[in-house]
Amino acid sequence: MLMVLLVATLSAQPQSYPRWFLEQGTLLCKLSAVGYSPLWLSKDSSLAQAARDARGNLVRQRETVVELGQAFWTTEAGTSWMGGEFKLSIDSSAYLKSLRDASAVTVCFCSDFVIALASDGASELPDLMKETVRMPKDEPGWVRETPSDATRYYSVGVSPRYFYEMSSWMSAERMALIGLAKAGGDSLAAIEKSAAGSGQEVLSEEATVAIHYYQVNARWCDEANGVFYVLMSAEKDDVNGSSVRYGTR
């Protein structure tokens, strides 16, 4: 009971974040990843878990395979979305190796969770990026209008506020990654399957998309409405949706 009251009290306090968390895309390194951990009773356990998660996420960002699938039911009355699913796969041997990695990471305690930053190669954080700041009140432009250019895919992931704030950030990151996969797998095609004599059709689409070296660029929270946003990007050449699979449901 005491621990629950403590967590609730901490969560009610104004939240602050290091700049490297909110402005991750400005870091001067090839690739960086953030890891999370609940604020357990043991400080060392929380730090170790966040560091392991950051190193594991670095492996994921080097290469993740996203399997996408969704289905529609079409009748004379219109088309209804039947549901969708996705599966994420990574290099398990590289991930297990990352758990034994003892390289240094940067950590920060937030109100009810711990975040850690890992990067490819040694890179000293500028003092400005180490500063702890409040969440900006002004909505960044990328929330309403996703950036676009000739060389990169961009995606914005959105999540509602969950009881544990770190779950909201992780959910928004996951949705942004799915958005990148959809952008790279835009050659998805629907397969029509006619139900004999019924005038109905089931449309299904599936694809496998490999994403290499994707990066979180920025994070922002609409504190008034409890909505979390994550901007993510990857080089278009690093998003390979050529292994498209088609099927029917």
**What rounded mean pLDDT belongs to the chain?**
78
Query: Taking 50 as the threshold, does the pLDDT of residue 184 lie above it?
Result: yes
pTM of the model: 0.78
pLDDT of residue 200: 59
Report how far residue 192's alpha carbon sits from residue 68's, in angstroms, rounded to the nearest whole number: 18
pLDDT of residue 176: 94
Residue 196 confidence (pLDDT) above 80? no
Who's near 155: CB < 8 A, 6+ residues apart?
146, 176, 177, 178, 179, 180, 182, 183, 231, 232, 233
pLDDT score of 113: 94
Which tokens belong to 45? 């356990």
Residue 117, pLDDT score: 94
- State yes or no: pLDDT of 233 exceeds 90: yes
Please report which confidence band the pLDDT of residue 3 belongs to, taking 50, 70 and 90 as the band edges. very low
Reading the block at residue 99, the tokens are: 């758990």
Answer whether residue 11 shows pLDDT above 80.
Answer: no
Residue 12 has pLDDT above 60, yes or no: no
Question: Residue 124: its pLDDT value, please?
Answer: 77
Q: Which residue has the higher pLDDT, 180 or 3?
A: 180
d(CA 124, CA 26): 13
Rg (CA), the chain: 20
Q: Is 180 helix (H, G, I), strand (E, B) or coil?
A: helix
Among the ranges 17-31, 65-79, 199-213, which has the highest mean pLDDT value?
17-31
235: nearest Cα among 151, 155, 147:
151
- What is the distance between the alpha carbons of residues 75 and 181, in angstroms, rounded to a whole number? 29
In 3D, which of 213, 90, 238, 227 has the Cα closest to residue 157?
Answer: 227
> Residue 220 corresponds to which tokens in the numbers above?
């922002």
| Alpha-carbon torsion angle 194, 198, 200, 201, nearest 10 | -10
